[in-house]
Amino acid sequence: MRVEFLGVSRDRAGVDEIDVEAETLGRLLMTLSARLPRLAELIVVDRISPHDAHAAVRGPRLHSSLAANLNGDRFISDPETPLGERDRVLILSADVGG
């Protein structure tokens, strides 16, 4: 799928858009976190047990200052949200207004 970056996420990603293979939003964010280190600062992984690196994760999720939108239609945050090859995911500022 294609990921488009807008605003702060574009600044952090250093590119306007990239192609990524991922079946869910959570996997997409993990991939972005690995490929784009400056953006990774804004991708949060909550571990069920914060002291155990092997503990199950809740997430990952975008920092509350960012939001994800699917195909320009609806906003998504559930890491289990399924994504398809032809989808376009927009990563934009949650605080969109002026």
Partner 1 sequence: MSTVSVPFGYHGMSLRIDVSTGGVERVPLPGTLLRRFIGGSGLGVRLLLDEGTAPLDALDPRAPLIFAFSPLVGSPLTTSAKFAVVSKSPLTDRINDSLASSGFAVQGKACGCDAMVIVGRAAEWSVLVIDDGSVRLEPAADCAGLTCGATDARLRSRLGSDFRIAAIGPGGENGVRFATISHDGRHAGRGGSGAVMGAKRLKAIAVRGTQRPEWADRQQVIAISQDLSHRSFGPATAKYRELGTATNLLTFNRLRALPTRNFQRGHFEDAGNLSVEQLTATRSKTRESCVTCTIGCEHIYGVGSGTVRVEYESLFALGSLCGIGDAEVVLRASQRCDELGIDTISAGGTIAFAMECVERGWLDEPWLAFGDGQALLRAIDLIGVRQGLGNLLAEGSRRAAAAIGHHSMAIAPQVKGLEIPGYEPRALQTMALGFAVGTRGADHNRSGAYEVDFSEKVDRRQVTLDAVRHAIDTEDRAALMDSLIICKFLRGVFEDFHEEAAAMVRSVTGWEVTARELRQTAARIVAAKQQFNRRAGWRPEEDTLPDRVLDTPLPDDPLATLSRERLAALVAEYHRQRGTADPRDVEG
Residues that bind partner 1 (CB under 8 A): 4, 6-8, 10-11, 41-42, 63-65, 67, 69, 72-77, 90, 92-98
Beta bridge partners of residue 19, listed in sequence order: 2
Minimum separation from the CB atom of position 11 to partner 1 (A): 6
- Judged by beta carbon, residue 84 or residue 98, the one nearer partner 1 is 98
- Judged by beta carbon, residue 21 or residue 95, the one nearer partner 1 is 95
Q: H or E segment at 68?
A: strand 66-70
Q: Using alpha carbons, list the distances in angstroms from residue 10 to 17, 50, 81.
A: 8, 30, 22
